Structure 1
Amino acid sequence: MQITINNEVLDITAGTTLQQLVFSRLGEKQNGIAVAVNNTVISRNLHDSHILQPHDTVLIIKATQGG
Structure 2
Amino acid sequence: MEIKLNGQATQIDATCSVGQLISEFYESSGKGIAVAVNQFVVPKSDWPHRRLSPNDHITIITATQGG
Return the TM-score normalized by structure 2: 0.93
> Residue 3 of structure 2: SS of its match in structure 1?
strand
Please state if 1:26 is matched with 2:26.
yes
Partner of 1:51: 51
Q: Distance in 1 between matches of 2:50 and 2:12?
A: 14
* Aligned residues between the structures: 67
Cα RMSD (Å) of the superposition? 1.0
Query: 1:30 deviation in Å?
Result: 1.9
Q: Extract unaligned runs of 5+ from structure 2.
A: none
Say which is worse superposed, 54-63 or 27-36, in terms of deviation.
27-36
Return the TM-score normalized by structure 1: 0.93
Partner of 2:11: 11
Q: Extract unaligned runs of 5+ from structure 1.
A: none
Query: 1:28 deviation in Å?
Result: 3.5
